């Protein structure tokens, strides 16, 4: 019984670390523009395909697929910002509620576009990426892990830490935070806000794509595979306080563990609904998110 629980905890934390890698990008974008990017799951999907196809079609070694996924994700994120997000900054004030509508519709349509584009170009059938390592089972105390999971988790954790450090201490990171807090003020202070936005979207795409690459050998990749990680990310962003990075990392781990236990102790069939119920409850109790602050309205 105890060993089952430890196993559940470990697997929950592992899942949570992938969720965190996914959700940080969404959090960054929310912090920047107060919009939800409904194409976020497709950044993941693009990464998963990039990783898999780099190995299967280009014959690259599996580990080389990860930087490929990262780069392709960054490119897609950057293009999204260039082509779709720019109108949101111009006349930011005059948009009013149209801003939310525009952002939802455009990112929703982008998601449709990417799914169907990939479906058309690559095909609808599922592909499984090559593993990073061949080691089948590694006992870690009472917990049994596949080599792939262990290595992917290590990479995910290091990337999360690297990203957090980057945003906290690097010059770019500081500029990003300034822009997220006050776009106008940052531009008056001489920060290139457009560049900062590009970086955020590129980073957001890259991180989601990387988690796609890491999970490609574990979860079958199909054109619509992005919907599951995307929905987890929404839950996490809400739980984590809409825009807070430490908050979303904590929320990811909590969600991972919660789902892992819930699937065993509550219901396996409805496991994907737990997070969604939590999301609704959190927004009901605190419409500004669990750790968010309410701005001045009147």
Q: Which stretch binds another protein (CB under 8 A): 43-51, 228-236, 245-253, 255-263?
A: 228-236
Fill in the DSSP letter of residue 82. Answer: I
Residue of 116, 170, 181, 182 interacting with another protein (CB under 8 A): 116
**Minimum Å distance from CB 36 to another protein?**
4
Say which residues have a Cβ less than 8 Å from residue 200's Cβ, sequence separation at least 6: 28, 29, 32, 81, 176, 179, 180
**How far is it, in rounded angstroms, from Cα 176 to Cα 170?**
10
Q: Is 36 in the site for another protein (CB under 8 A)?
A: yes
Binding positions for another protein, 68-87, rule CB under 8 A: 84, 87
**Minimum Å distance from CB 108 to another protein?**
6
Q: Is 104 in the site for another protein (CB under 8 A)?
A: yes
Buried b (16+ CB within 10 A) or exposed e, 41-71: bbbbbbbbbbbbbbbeeeebebeebbbbbbb
Residue number, 16 or 275, with CB nearest to another protein: 275
Residue of 4, 58, 117, 184 interacting with another protein (CB under 8 A): 117
Q: Is 291 in the site for another protein (CB under 8 A)?
A: no
| Residue 143: strand pairing partners | 140
Q: Is 89 in the site for another protein (CB under 8 A)?
A: no
Buried b (16+ CB within 10 A) or exposed e, 116-148: eebeeebeeeebebbbbbeeeeeeeeebebbeb
Taking Cα atoms as reference points, which of 35, 39, 40 lies closest to residue 89?
35
Q: Which long-range contacts (CB under 8 A, 24 or more apart) does 61-65 make?
A: 62/129, 62/130, 62/131, 62/132, 62/217, 63/132, 65/129, 65/130, 65/213, 65/216
Residue number, 125 or 270, with CB nearest to another protein: 270
Q: Is 192 in the site for another protein (CB under 8 A)?
A: no
Residue of 208, 238, 245, 254 interacting with another protein (CB under 8 A): 238
| Residue 127: strand pairing partners | 221
Residue of 92, 100, 188, 246 interacting with another protein (CB under 8 A): 100
**Minimum Å distance from CB 32 to another protein?**
13
- Report the interface residues with another protein, using CB under 8 A: 30, 34-36, 38, 84, 87, 94, 96-106, 108-113, 115-117, 119-120, 227, 231, 234-235, 238, 269-270, 272-273, 276-277, 279-280, 283-284, 287, 297-298
């Amino acid at each position: 019984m105890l060993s089952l629980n430890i196993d559940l905890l470990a697997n929950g934390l592992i899942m949570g670390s992938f969720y965190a890698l996914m959700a940080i990008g969404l959090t960054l974008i929310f912090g920047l523009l107060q919009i939800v990017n409904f194409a976020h799951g497709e950044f993941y999907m693009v990464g998963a395909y990039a990783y898999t196809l780099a190995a299967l079609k280009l014959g690259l070694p599996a580990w080389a697929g990860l930087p490929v996924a990262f780069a392709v994700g960054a490119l897609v994120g950057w293009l999204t910002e260039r082509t779709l997000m720019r109108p949101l900054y111009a006349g930011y004030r005059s948009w009013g509620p149209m801003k939310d509508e525009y952002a939802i519709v455009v990112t929703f349509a982008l998601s449709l576009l990417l799914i169907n584009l990939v479906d058309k170009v690559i095909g609808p059938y599922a592909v499984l990426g090559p593993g990073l390592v061949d080691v089948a089972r590694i006992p870690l105390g009472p917990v049994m892990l596949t080599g792939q999971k262990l290595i992917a988790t290590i990479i995910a954790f290091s990337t999360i830490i690297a990203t957090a450090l980057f945003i906290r201490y690097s010059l770019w990171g500081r500029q990003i935070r300034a822009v997220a807090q006050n776009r106008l003020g940052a531009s008056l202070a001489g920060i290139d806000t457009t560049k900062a936005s590009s970086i955020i979207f590129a980073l957001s795409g890259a991180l989601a794509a990387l988690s796609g690459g890491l999970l490609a050998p574990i979860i079958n990749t199909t054109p619509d595979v992005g919907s599951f990680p995307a929905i987890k990310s929404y839950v996490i962003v809400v739980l984590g306080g809409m825009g807070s990075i430490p908050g979303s990392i904590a929320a990811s781990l909590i969600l991972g563990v919660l789902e892992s236990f819930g699937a065993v102790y509550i219901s396996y069939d409805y496991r994907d609904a737990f997070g969604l119920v939590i999301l609704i409850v959190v927004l009901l109790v605190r419409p500004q998110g669990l750790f968010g602050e309410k701005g001045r309205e009147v």
